[in-house]
Amino acid sequence: MRADGLMPGVADVFVDVPRGGCHGLRLEFKAGKNKLSSAQVEFKSAEESMGYMCIVCYSTESAVASVKSYLNK
């Protein structure tokens, strides 16, 4: 995937709309019992320190609910 230009650790989805004091929303999708890699933990921490909301989603339903909740702030 690096050959396609993807960077390790970067979130799957960016919602670059400021809401509720945040600059934007970052979503990372995980399946089953998978956890964030060390690169993903580092990215999440850096983004949160810059004012972005970062959420790990384990289902489509939680992702949709997270985006709706964020946009309604």
pLDDT of residue 47: 98
Question: How confident is the model over 6-16, as pLDDT tens digits?
Answer: 788 999 999 99
pLDDT of residue 32: 94
Overall number of domains in the chain:
1
Provide the CATH number for the domain around residue 56: 3.40.1350.10
Question: What residue numbers bound the domain in which 46 lies?
Answer: 2-71
User: C-alpha distances in angstroms, 59 versus 6, 24, 43, 65, 72?
Assistant: 22, 20, 21, 10, 20
List average pLDDT for each run of 10 residues in the chain, which is 73 residues long: 72 96 97 96 98 97 97 94
pLDDT of residue 13: 96
pLDDT of residue 62: 96
